[in-house]
Amino acid sequence: TWKKYSATGFEHKEEFEQEFVRHIETTLARSLYNCDDLAAYYGTALAFRDRLIIEWNKTQQRQTLLDQKRVYYLSLEFLMGRALDNAMLNVGKKDTAREGLEDLGFRIEDVVNQEHDAALGNGGLGRLAACFLDSMATLNYPAWGYGLRYRYGIFKQEIVDGYQVEIPDYWLDFNPWEFPRHDITVDIQFYGQSVRHEDEDGRVTYNWQGGEIVQAVAYDVPIPGYGTTTTNNLRLWSSKASSGEFDFQKFNAGEYESAVSDQQRAETISAVLYPNDNLDRGKELRLKQQYFWCAASLYDIVRRFKKTNRAWLEFPDQVAIQLNDTHPTLAIVELQRILVDQEGLEWDEAWKIVVGTFGYTNHTVLPEALEKWSVPLMEHLLPRHLQIIYDINLFFLQDVEKKFPDDRDLLARVSIIEESRPKMVRMAYLAIIGSHKVNGVAELHSDLIKTTIFKDFVNIYGPDKFTNVTNGITPRRWLHQANPRLSKLIASKLGGYDFLTDLTLLDGIEHFVDDKEFRKEWAEIKTENKKRLAKHIKDTTGYTVNPTALFDVQVKRIHEYKRQQLNIFGVIHRYLKIKSMTPEERKKLVPRVSIFGGKAAPGYWMAKTIIHLINKVGQVVNNDSDIGDLLKVIFIEDYNVSKAEIIVPASDISEHISTAGTEASGTSNMKFVLNGGLIIGTCDGANIEITREITESNIFLFGNLAEDVENLRETHRYKGFTLDEDLAKVFESIRSGTFGDANAFESLIASITDHGDYYLVSDDFKSYIQTQELVDEDFQKQDEWIAKSISSVARMGFFSTDRVIDEYAESIWNVEPLVVE
């Protein structure tokens, strides 16, 4: 006698089983007799989905009724990974499902593994957005995500003969987590012209006319909070040809091909995620994506606001919009256009509303990643928006002129329009000017943007407009879900799972650092996780790795600034050293498995060369009988969120070794430490704050400081530099063909020896190698190592996205959680 639809989930396994079977037999039109793991996945997902839908509807009704201020998180990327495991844990009924599935003859792990990752993002920025959604729902904030429903997410990576090959990631076949809202559509305009009107009183208005229309269709994804009934909404827009008169006439006239090609052109807008991470390439289709998504989202937000019949002045009291980097900056211009051209507000009144509404988060200082769009392209695609940008710029420069008279250089420096040929629109400047707050994502990064790329704006606006909100991660996915045994062990000491919603409670495990039994269990869990990864490595690469070896992991997008080349040169150095040792000397060594993973942007030649080198080194080292278990080099194909959930809990040490001042924050550093891995890293991004929290004795820091980087580069340019001796030997061995065709790696070597070593690989090589030797030494003192691991985890409370979201809510959004009874 169980309740049919309990609020929180299934009361008994029988209730789950019944729902499961019902979906297999009706929704999927199959029978239990031909139900494989994939069908079992769908059955389980649909059963849980039913529960989510009920809470989702209630949450939306509640939010509409109470009509508190809402947050809208605009991001072109949401790197969600899998949904089922997360849904089961957040609803709190995973064990019930496990038992039910067992009764029916399935292993829950196999069922969960059937799900295709939702990979609508490149890396850190997209995963951060996904962690934010989890925390916003968990903390009961009335919040929506807005993004694009790409037909193809980030490509799948295969390694063929040591080279990266890209395979399209078609993931939408049957996605039980999305709900098409064919009734929620927005017509989005492109091209055409801006037409001037002057009425009898001499009032001048502009109107955007002509061009073409593409339809945006909403697809909604439920976002369940952990331990709460709040289920928020992620709305993704899909593009479709508008079914206007136009097509109909074409079809009628028999112009099928042209009608079909119009349709394809429209659908192309949301077809594919651009695979560049930290690199801007001014492609027209990308700008179309940005406007399509901004315009549809704003239409939706404004429509919702208008239903409440409030005065426009109240808009910023009801709506906070956060811009995830500059990608949605056109939303600023679009809101100004709606208010002035369509709603008839005065410019100044409208602009105050706009600035009060938006906040802008910067994620990079790399010059090649700062978005710029050519003025001619903007004028062609969005003629009225370009005019508005020019006006925003004019009024802004007038203000600056008043404040700093006769500083023409300043005006040229801060102008939204760069006077190049062609002229360019600087999106970051537009985002700063159109927002009331600008934030970086870690302390060092937030300081750097204030003193370098946005220095002039700090002078103009004063320092209060610029703030820091250090990134975090959701402990639900990155501890409880990825590492259930560790989570359980911690819960056993803390008397429950409260730490999952208040991560600072982790400090309670510090008391157990000296508890022998606790340490033993802690170490065993790490070993189990390493065995699971070793199996994955065996299954996917064929290589056998020893789970007692030191697992050294670097997984992230491949980029010169992240310096995977420093890591692989270090590996080669180690290989050469082992080769030169006597058997006696070798006995003293700590066996090590160097594990790499990550995708290179398809057009990023140097990144692809680094992948190639890693794979060639692996081929040689792993097949060298001289070396045995002492060193293995593994490249894990197709690194993604669900692989991270296996890799992160299995690392002894992970590498976060960017050139100081280049990695805005990094978030995988936090994931590794939270899972009991130590890290080796530079004084960069959030590594610095991690060090502050866990103390210097628990982290392996090395390398030059951010403050010295500019000088070093300058010296390289004008005086050159002497190549590190050990690095020179590494290059000799590559050049002599030890790892196959030496020519293949010449450009990589030359970037250091001949082209100024921009990323300071040579400058940091010695201290990197020395620090890695320290890692070996410390790893041999296993007891101390485990103690470091435990006390680091104990001090990671700060890095929860729950803390991050509360900070945004308080200092940028001014929104309150919605109290759920």
- Residues near ligand 26Q (CB under 6 A) are 122-125, 128, 274, 276-278, 280-281, 286, 363-364, 369, 371, 441, 471, 663-667, 685
Half-sphere exposure of 111 (CA within 13 A, CB side): 25
- The phi, psi pair for 42, rounded to 5°, reads -60, -40
In angstroms, give the least distance from the CB of 280 to ligand 26Q.
4
Residue 724 CB coordination number (10 Å): 22
Q: Among this protein's residues, is 327 annotated catalytic?
A: no
Secondary structure (H, E, C), 93-129: CHHHHHHHHHHCCCCHHHHHCCCCCEEECCCHHHHHH
In angstroms, give the least distance from the CB of 27 to ligand 26Q.
37
CA 559 to chain centre: 15
Is residue 328 within 8 A of residue 129, CB to CB? The reply is no
Task: Report the residue number, 122 or 297, with the smaller CB distance to ligand 26Q.
Answer: 122
In angstroms, give the least distance from the CB of 470 to ligand 26Q.
10
In angstroms, give the least distance from the CB of 758 to ligand 26Q.
17
Task: Report the residue number, 59 or 675, with the smaller CB distance to ligand 26Q.
Answer: 675
Q: Among this protein's residues, is 531 annotated catalytic?
A: no
256, containing H or E segment: helix 256-268
Task: Report the residue number, 345 or 441, with the smaller CB distance to ligand 26Q.
Answer: 441
Is residue 306 within 8 A of residue 299, CB to CB? The reply is no
In angstroms, give the least distance from the CB of 421 to ligand 26Q.
21
Marked catalytic residue, from 69, 70, 632, 671 = 671
Marked catalytic residue, from 94, 363, 480, 592 = 363
In angstroms, give the least distance from the CB of 126 to ligand 26Q.
7
Question: Which residue number is nearest to ligand 26Q in terms of Cβ?
Answer: 124
782, containing H or E segment: helix 782-794
Task: Report the residue number, 363 or 436, with the smaller CB distance to ligand 26Q.
Answer: 363
Block residue for tokens 């001499």? 202
| Measured distance CA(154)–CA(55) in Å, rounded | 31
Who contacts 262 (Cβ-Cβ below 8 Å, separation ≥6)? 241, 246, 247, 250
Who contacts 231 (Cβ-Cβ below 8 Å, separation ≥6)? 52, 55, 56, 58, 59, 137, 222, 223, 224, 225
| Measured distance CA(548)–CA(531) in Å, rounded | 9
CA 566 to chain centre: 24
Task: Report the residue number, 80 or 241, with the smaller CB distance to ligand 26Q.
Answer: 80
User: Coil, helix or strand for 233?
Assistant: strand
- What tokens appear for 86 in the block? 């997360």
Who contacts 631 (Cβ-Cβ below 8 Å, separation ≥6)? 571, 574, 575, 578, 591, 592, 593, 594, 621
Marked catalytic residue, from 667, 682, 771, 801 = 667
Residue 264 CB coordination number (10 Å): 10
Is residue 629 within 8 A of residue 549, CB to CB? The reply is yes
In angstroms, give the least distance from the CB of 801 to ligand 26Q.
11
In angstroms, give the least distance from the CB of 663 to ligand 26Q.
5
Task: Report the residue number, 124 or 817, with the smaller CB distance to ligand 26Q.
Answer: 124
Task: Report the residue number, 439 or 483, with the smaller CB distance to ligand 26Q.
Answer: 439
Quick one: DSSP state of residue 800? B
Do the bridges between strand 212-224 and strand 417-418 make them parallel or antiparallel, or are there none, so unpaired? unpaired
Torsion of CA 94, 99, 105, 106, to 10 degrees: 20
Task: Report the residue number, 85 or 560, with the smaller CB distance to ligand 26Q.
Answer: 560
Q: Among this protein's residues, is 557 annotated catalytic?
A: yes
Residue 7 CB coordination number (10 Å): 11
CA 740 to chain centre: 35
Task: Report the residue number, 85 or 684, with the smaller CB distance to ligand 26Q.
Answer: 684
In angstroms, give the least distance from the CB of 157 to ligand 26Q.
17
Is residue 651 within 8 A of residue 203, CB to CB? The reply is no
Q: Among this protein's residues, is 735 annotated catalytic?
A: no
Active site residues: 363, 556-557, 562, 667, 671
